[in-house]
Structure 1
Amino acid sequence: STTGAVTLAGTLATTNGGTGLTSFTANGAVYATSTSALTTGTLPVGAGGTGQTTTTGAFNALSPITSTGDLIIGNGVNSATRLGIGTNGYILTSNGTTATWAAAPASMIYPGAGIAVSTGSAWSTSLTAPSGAIVGTSDTQTLTNKRINPRVSSTTTAASVTPDISSYDQYCFTAQASNITFNAPTGTPVDGNKLLFRVKGTSSTWTITWNAAYQANNIALPTSLVIGTTNYYGFIYNADTSKWDLVAVA
């Protein structure tokens, strides 16, 4: 038997139980055969490599992506697949099974400039945003440094008028040239709503007829216009009586 280190000059042939190699290791790896099994270049995909020499090249070589905008998504256990870029304007969504592209629903399409108003299933025409603080359309708010301008309807003369309180707060007749009848207002008034009539009489004394929706309140309802003057009749809605109370005549 031999103990201690054994030093060979040259190589030990395979017929003598050797390998025919001058070294058993290279870079820390043991040769298995007389032909080096170590790879010092690139390892092809077929051998478990990428065939590339950089991380970017390796990723691109193994990636299923083929076009700009493609996505890689899961397609089963430990499996990936390519999801091509969607149609212009489409959004990424789920059909319950996988990711997919689909047209955006109307509820997600913004109508344009201004404040979008959601109807629950779609956007309606946007509101134009005013300068300063934005006031809610239905909730109660306190206005500071704001002016509420009356909604005014103006015409020259009319024989009959049916006020629409949902559209106007004041009706003006700039040169009344006939008798005039004030019909019951349309719309849904609330307690305290105000309604003003301004009528300028001409050269004749024209009569005024009032619907039963208007009632005197310590002031008699006028029955005629004063010739050549501007006449004002102010009313406030009384929810207790469902009438428009006359509160001012000038």
Structure 2
Amino acid sequence: MAKTEIRSGQFLDGSLVDADVSDSAAIKLTKSENVVTGLTDQATITTDASAGTIFTVTLAGNRTLAAPTNPVDGMKRIWRFKQDATGSRTITLNAVFRLGTDITTITLTTTASKTDYVGAIYNGTDAKWDIVAFIKGL
């Protein structure tokens, strides 16, 4: 069975489509670009992990990041938290987020209008989002 790789087309959000097509007409579509998705600032911030790759929110109070919905094993996601003009906002992570020995806590910058990033990979075996990156004060 011959296999042809096609690299053309776009999703509605403008990101590129990669399609692997075999003679059995099985098609696998994947997004090849990062998609930035705004989150709603509220007491408990929710994320649909299938809706983007980078999630951004400006915090106007102390918040909790809920367990993301629609995770897939191996999925990599980044959350970008920006302090509002007041600053000193905190984020509490749902128990589905797992910290290791290198990154033991997530304490956001307290400086007004500064941005922090949290990166995680979904571990489907353990049903946990493993925190693999944290940078603050940008």
Q: TM-score, normalised by structure 2?
A: 0.68
Paired residue type of 2:123: N
Q: Could you say which structure has the larger radius of gyration?
A: 1
Q: Cα 1:133–1:225, aligned 2, differ >3 Å: closer, same or farther?
A: closer
* Runs of 4+ displaced beyond 6 Å: 131-134
**Distance in structure 2 (CA, Å) of the matches to 1:167 and 1:200:** 20
Distance between the aligned counterparts of 1:245 and 1:188, measured in 2? 12
Q: Which has the higher strand share?
A: 2
Is residue 100 of structure 2 the alignment partner of residue 217 of structure 1? yes
In the alignment, the residues of structure 2 paired with residue 244 and residue 170 of structure 1 have an alpha-carbon distance, to the nearest angstrom, of 15
Query: 2:132 — aligned with what?
Result: 247
Calculate percent identity across the aligned residue pairs. Answer: 29
Q: Does 1:169 align with 2:48?
A: no
Q: Which runs of 5+ in 2 are unaligned?
A: 1-7, 11-15
Question: Is 1:236 equivalent to 2:126 in the alignment?
Answer: no
The 1-side partners of 2:17 and 2:92 are apart by 44
**Greater length-normalized contact order (CA 8 Å, ≥ 6 residues apart):** 2
The structural deviation recorded for 1:212 is 0.9
- Equivalent residues of 1:199, 1:231 under 8 A apart: yes
Q: State which of 56, 69, 78 in structure 2 corresponds to 1:196.
A: 78
User: Hey, what's the Cα distance between the residues in 2 that align with 1:189 and 1:133?
Assistant: 19
Q: d(CA) in 2 for partners of 1:134 and 1:223? A: 38
For 1:51-70, list aligned pairs within 5 A.
none
Q: Counterpart in 1 of 2:33?
A: 149
Higher-helix-fraction structure: 1
Measure the CA separation in 1 of the matches of 2:17 and 2:70: 29
**Change in 2 beyond 3 A, CA 1:159/1:225:** farther
Q: 1:207 to 1:166 in 2, by over 3 A?
A: same
* TM-score normalised over the length of structure 1: 0.40
Structure-2 separation of matches of 1:133 and 1:246? 28
Q: Render the CA deviation track for 1:81-126: whole Å, top value 9, x for unaligned.
A: xxxxxxxxxxxxxxxxxxxxxxxxxxxxxxxxxxxxxxxxxxxxxx
